[in-house]
Amino acid sequence: MGRERAGDGGAQDVERLLDDLYTTPPPGFVTRRAELALAARSAGNAADARRIRAARRPTLAAWAANLLLRAAPEESRRFLELGEALREAFRTLDAGEVKELSDRRRSVVAALTRQAVALAEQAGQRLSDSARGDVESTLRAVLADREAAERWATGRLEHPLTPPTEFGEETGAPSAGSHARDELADRRRRREAEKRHRLEEARREAAAADRRLRDRRTEQAVSDEELTRARADHDRAAAEVSEAERRLDQARSRLRLAEEERRTAEERQRAAADAVSEAEEHAQSAAREVERLTPPSST
């Protein structure tokens, strides 16, 4: 399928993206999910992003079953129709039809299992014997149970399915009373098992979410404390800068005053020096005049 961006086509678009996600090989599922969620969020589709993030990575067998549904739509449609016919035959206890459909069931399940294995290998994923068995179990469940058929038809299985009974293995007509009771009991047991499985998974997810929430809250508390300290340090530094600037302004004012006083003192000193020089000249001139006017002494 093409790599579309979330948000370009509304609800239908996100459904196509989820279909694409569930046919992504499991090793690349988490990365692809993150890419699609980011694209949806960047496009302003928060609800789509949440739906994509909520998708859970399928097991290898569940992924192969999803891949089979998408890659072989016609065969899948006929398989679903076979399941409807087989369930109806068991419901009406038509022994002849049950035998005929059961024979088809075995061959079709085997063929589709091989096809799913081949599709997985083409996508670079080799299925183990256990995974092959899970694929076959899923296909048998699709035939045996309407709910399982509906779940597979979505193409978004996360876990393999288990048939409620050894459905369709009977070689003759089943006993009406015992078969109905056994089938009902098996269905109930299967549904209870699936409910317990989903409950356990939900509890694990809830516990993990609680742990993540506590971690995030702890990180937020640490960040808040660091922010408080940083703001206090900033305020102190700003106050120190303001005080330093005030003192610098005062020092500059004192410097300007001192420079003015220095210039005035220098001017006074030059004036005084000039006056001293002038006085010395006057004194020397007067001394010479006195010496000139003083008569020579007689001896």
Contacts 24+ apart (CB under 8 A), 122-130: 123/25, 123/67, 124/25, 125/25, 125/26, 125/27, 125/60, 125/63, 125/64, 127/60, 127/61, 127/64, 128/60
Beta carbons within 8 Å of 168's beta carbon, 6+ residues apart: 86, 90, 98, 101, 102, 105, 106, 140, 143, 144
pLDDT at 299: 58
**Could you tell me which residues come within 8 angstroms of residue 16 by beta carbon, excluding any fewer than 6 positions away?**
1, 4, 9
Confidence class for position 204, pLDDT limits 50, 70, 90 = confident
What's the whole-number mean pLDDT along residues 28-43? 95
Mean pLDDT of the chain, nearest integer: 84
Per-residue pLDDT at 31: 96
Is residue 178 within 8 Å of 165, Cβ to Cβ?
A: no
Indicate whether 187 pLDDT > 70.
Answer: no
pLDDT at 184 over 60: no
- Using an 8 Å Cβ cutoff, are 108 and 79 in contact? yes
Q: How far apart are CA 287 and CA 1, in angstroms?
A: 123
What pLDDT does 195 receive?
Answer: 75
Q: What is the pLDDT of residue 133?
A: 96
Query: What is the spatial distance between Cα 157 and Cα 19, in angstroms, rounded to a whole number?
Result: 11
pLDDT value of position 140: 95
Mean pLDDT of 199-211: 83
Q: What is the pTM of this model?
A: 0.53
Q: Which tens digits make up the pLDDT trace of 130-144?
A: 999 999 999 999 999
Phi-psi category of residue 94: left, alpha or beta, with phi > 0 → left and psi -120 to 50 → alpha: beta
Residue 161 scores a pLDDT above 90: yes
Taking only the tens place, the pLDDT of each residue in 67-113 is: 999 999 999 999 999 999 888 877 776 666 667 777 778 899 999 99
Distance CA 292, CA 286 (A): 10
- How far from 258 is each of 250, 263, 266, 273, 293, CA to CA, in Å? 12, 9, 12, 22, 51
DSSP character at residue 154:
T
Output the six-digit token pair for 196.
């317990």
- List Cβ neighbours of 116 (8 Å cut-off, separation of 6 or more): 64, 65, 67, 68, 127, 135
Distant-in-sequence, close-in-space partners of 127: CB < 8 Å, separation ≥ 6:
60, 61, 64, 116, 117, 120, 121, 135
What number of other Cβ atoms are within 10 A of residue 168's Cβ?
A: 23
Query: In the predicted model, is pLDDT for residue 251 greater than 50?
Result: yes
